[in-house]
A and B are shown apart, each in its own frame.
Chain A
Amino acid sequence: MKRSLGPFVSLLSGVLFGVGLVVSGMTSPAKVQGFLDLAGAWDPSLAFVMGAAVLSCGAFSWVARRRGAPVLDASFSVSESRTIDRRLLTGAAVFGVGWGLCGVCPGPSLVSLGTTGLWPLVFVAAMAIGARAETAITLGLGSRTATPETPI
């Protein structure tokens, strides 16, 4: 019973998340770039989006941590990594450049697939290629030091 609810929760959360992106203005690239344009007519509203999102997500996270385990699944599947390395920094830096170029980040691009426009298809396809390329490069570099028998 508990387990069968899982996919429904995932679907409903996806819908709510998407509606939140639309209501907040994140699906408007012009508005996102307005926030990133400190030297222009700066639009601070996305700071409010982030602040409200962190607070409401934080409230749920706090309850979740106090319970010690999630309600439906057996355990948390969360990275507990604390290392701040070059991968994190260069990845985030490249991400920010792409985000600033068009004012589009992953969530809004996927929501925009619901329109008839061509650009979301182009963006999402490029995003998939970029992500797969990164994985390929990382695995390729790793395999040089690993023994050939090691499964990656």
Chain B
Amino acid sequence: MLSFLPAVVGGALLGGAAGLVYLLRGRVAGIGGIFGGAIATQSVDGREGRAHRLFFLLGLLLAGFGAARVAPSALGSPSTPLLVVAIAGLLVGFGMQRGSGCTSGHGVCGLARFSTRSLVATLTFMATGFATVFVTHHLLGGPR
């Protein structure tokens, strides 16, 4: 049971961060939306919205730089070739833009607001995620 402690503490931390964004700034801390908005040519909600997204992304980067120094082993790498990483990135970017959300936007913020849309989206990407790993790990005998 103790092995789940980091999962619970980390989850509460990232959920709390998303909750703070909602309580203080009234915005959804979905990484897909924040990233998608940051790379869009036009900001849908003006300069303030753009500044919020850039500062939040900067915070994520700072956390990464810090973790790389303090706990480098916590930052793993995919076991797949770079070509597969690129394909995965394309699919993730395309999918989050089309489905208006990702693991955090739908899976955390959306579920926390009892959004049915987010529940459906979360169940859908979980299902295709399970199916994909089944194919790559068991049918194709990929990384183990």
Given known A-B contacts A76-B26, A78-B28, A10 and B56 have beta carbons under 8 A apart: yes
- B57 and A7 form a contact (CB under 8 A): no
- B25 and A9 form a contact (CB under 8 A): yes
Residues of chain B with a CB closer than 8 A to A24's CB: 6-7, 9-11, 13-14
- A27 and B74 form a contact (CB under 8 A): yes
Q: CB-defined interface of B5-25 with A at 8 Å, one 1/0 digit per residue?
A: 011111111111111111111
Q: Which of A11, A37, A60, A63 is close to B59, meaning CB atoms less than 8 Å apart?
A: A11
User: Which residue, of B58, B125, B130, has the highest number of chain A Cβ atoms within 10 A?
Assistant: B125
In the complex, A15→B63 CA distance in Å?
5
- A22 and B29 form a contact (CB under 8 A): no
Q: Which of B49, B65, B134 is close to A114, meaning CB atoms less than 8 Å apart?
A: B65
- A36 and B99 form a contact (CB under 8 A): no
- A9 and B20 form a contact (CB under 8 A): yes
Closest to A28 in B: B76
Does A91 sit within 8 A of B, measured CB to CB? yes
Interface on chain B toward A: helix, strand, loop, or mixed SS? helix
Residues of chain A with a CB closer than 8 A to B82's CB: 118-119, 122
Residues of chain B with a CB closer than 8 A to A6's CB: 24-25, 48, 51-52
Interface on chain A toward B: helix, strand, loop, or mixed SS? helix
- A16 and B39 form a contact (CB under 8 A): no
Residues of chain A with a CB closer than 8 A to B16's CB: 16, 20, 56-57, 60
Chain B interface category by residue count:
35 or more
- A89 and B124 form a contact (CB under 8 A): yes
A-B contact count (CB 8 A): 495
Q: Which of B6, B66, B75, B90 is close to A127, meaning CB atoms less than 8 Å apart?
A: B90
Closest to A63 in B: B23
- A72 and B24 form a contact (CB under 8 A): yes
Residues of chain B with a CB closer than 8 A to A128's CB: 35, 39, 93
- Looking at the assembled complex, report how far the CB atom of B126 sits from the nearest CB atom of chain A, in whole angstroms: 7
- B64 and A18 form a contact (CB under 8 A): yes
- Looking at the assembled complex, report how far the CB atom of B4 sits from the nearest CB atom of chain A, in whole angstroms: 5
- B85 and A102 form a contact (CB under 8 A): yes
Q: Which of A53, A96, A113 is close to B128, meaning CB atoms less than 8 Å apart?
A: A96
In the complex, A40→B99 CA distance in Å?
29
In the complex, A100→B124 CA distance in Å?
12
Which A residues are within 8 Å of any B CB, using their own CB?
A: 5-31, 33, 36-40, 45-46, 48-61, 63-64, 67, 69-79, 81-84, 87-107, 109-119, 122-135, 138
Beyond the given A89-B120, A95-B92, A105-B104, could you list 20 further A-B residue pairs with CB under 8 A, ordered by the A residue number? Answer: A10-B56, A15-B62, A17-B56, A19-B63, A20-B10, A36-B132, A48-B7, A49-B10, A50-B11, A70-B26, A79-B28, A94-B91, A99-B92, A100-B136, A107-B31, A113-B64, A115-B64, A117-B77, A119-B78, A130-B90
